[in-house]
Structure 1
Amino acid sequence: MEKTIMDVSRHQGTIDWAKVKASGKVDGVMIRAMGNSADGLPSKPYTDPQFARNYAECKRLGIPCGVYGYVKAVNREQADKELAYFKKLLTGRSFELPVAVDIEDEVQKPLGKAALTNLTAYMLSTVESWGVYAMLYTGLWFGSTFLYMGGAELKPYDVWLAAYRTRKPAPGWPFGMWQYTRAARVPGVSTNVDMSHAYKDYAAIIKRAGLGAVKGV
């Protein structure tokens, strides 16, 4: 059964989560936990200022949630540092929806398809090792141009695909969620918000598999 998933960050400001839940418009939320420096600049991860509140409110109200982190790594050393930061934010928390790695930055384009694909697979396997459901987030153009999306390296991981249009994309490789708009309106949110179709019941899958709780080292 298809689910409607909203994703939020500091750009949505302070959300009235009770109104969001009462609206019945969303089945779950992907919350940005880790942001990063602007496009083209060296990696400088930071904690999204609304992460803690958004997470706490979703938990309080029983809204299924997952998280994502914007990653700019161009080698394994940088990846390890960024993912250590990301994991620290998530440790001790639990998630009913996937934990997504957002790959779409200018600094990653020069790596070439093979190198960036291998690095992305390494990051996803690292996130998976935390005991969560790892997912790749990327745009249709970026993924098609700079990653081997249909290759063996990324095949084990679900894709959350960004492509703002009215018809479902058909890129030739599978994806589990489609972020179809950045201009949705939801009661309780004062700004436009991104919305996605999820083609799997991730909450049920994660619960059955006993995943979702991020444990410390």
Structure 2
Amino acid sequence: MNSNERDITLPQRSLRLTRRSFVAGAACAMAGLLVGCGSSSEPSKVAEIAPYVSPYDWAGLTRDGDKLEYFEDGELRSRWGIDVSEHQGNDIDWSAVADAGVQFSFARIGNRGATEGALSADEFFYQNAIRACEAGIEVSAYFFSQAVNEDEAREEAEFALANLRETEAAGATFVSVAYDHEPVEIDGARANGLSGDQLTANARVFCEVIAAAGYKPLLYGNQRDLLRLSPELREAYPVWLAEYGAESPTAPFDFVIWQYTNAGSVPGIPTDVDLNLWLEPQ
């Protein structure tokens, strides 16, 4: 990650608002030219090809140390946040985190074991959620899934809800709940070989249970993992993208949160921490 602050010249609004349609139209025109220049036996297939165009103009990104912000027409259209788990320990000074400008946090609810499949709560979920709320930081949550089928995904969602409700009874409030399924580099990891169809089915069940309980579901992952999900599922629920070491995201699909490093530094947190940009386009 480039930690140097850099100045950005922002584009004009009229240009940005038509950016997606302009690029797509240019791609279609180019495809038409290609068809007209030769004697292709399948011209319709060429004409259908169009590149993905992001709804964000990444020229609006600014960096100040580890902090990112996103602007449109000179107006700030993002929030800065972190996600934490027991890996950050129990010494987080949430007041210092808030004073550093952190606006939202995701706390890990728990996980399913990669080999035995047992469910367990994160040791500091309750503490992190309560103290972040007390510091005035908006709190969401995520669950690390290793479900191998829909029944296990449903069990994970119900486990997550039980922990959310217990923490809410102590005064916490939650906005979103993310489904996080990743391959695990452990011998005997039971969920590493899931098909894209099965992974999609698991994620859908988890999100449906979470949504039925009144929370906003999210889908978390890197490009590789998220592209294994069906496009229909990624369109149904907001996406939280993990992509590190990039000047700007390169994923060929829409997302609302960019986790841009797993080695960030924030006052009040004694360890490295994941940093996130929550995008709010007009």
The residue aligned with 2:241 is 161
Equivalences for residues 81-100 of structure 1 within 5 A: 81-91=155-165, 93=168, 95-100=173-178
The residue aligned with 1:45 is 119
CA contact (8 A) 2:154 2:205 kept: no
Q: Secondary structure at the match of 1:74?
A: coil
Amino acid at match of 2:274: D
Query: Aligned partners of 1:161 and 1:108: how far apart in 2?
Result: 21
Higher-RCO chain (CA-CA 8 Å, sequence separation at least 6): 1
The residue aligned with 2:196 is 113
Query: Aligned partners of 1:90 and 1:76: how far apart in 2?
Result: 21
- Is 1:142 equivalent to 2:219 in the alignment? no
The residue aligned with 1:34 is 110
Q: CA deviation at 1:166?
A: 2.6
The CA RMSD over aligned residues, in Å, is 1.7
Deviation >4 Å, runs of 4+: none
Q: Secondary structure at the match of 2:204?
A: helix
The residue aligned with 1:186 is 266
- Segments of 5+ residues of structure 2 without an aligned counterpart are 1-76, 185-189
Aligned residues: 195
Amino acid at match of 1:31: A
Q: CA deviation at 1:96?
A: 4.7
**1:186-216 CA distance string (max 9 Å, x none):** 1110000000111138xxxxxxxxxxxxxxx
TM-score, normalised relative to structure 1: 0.83
Equivalences for residues 51-90 of structure 1 within 5 A: 51-90=125-164
- Is 1:16 equivalent to 2:93 in the alignment? yes
Counterpart of 1:2 (choices 73, 78, 83) is: 78
TM-score, normalised relative to structure 2: 0.65
CA contact (8 A) 1:118 1:153 kept: no
CA contact (8 A) 1:121 1:154 kept: no
Query: Aligned partners of 1:101 and 1:91: how far apart in 2?
Result: 17
Query: Aligned partners of 2:94 and 2:217: how far apart in 1?
Result: 25
Query: Aligned partners of 1:5 and 1:100: how far apart in 2?
Result: 15
Identical counterparts, % of pairs: 28
Q: Secondary structure at the match of 2:234?
A: coil
- Segments of 5+ residues of structure 1 without an aligned counterpart are 202-217
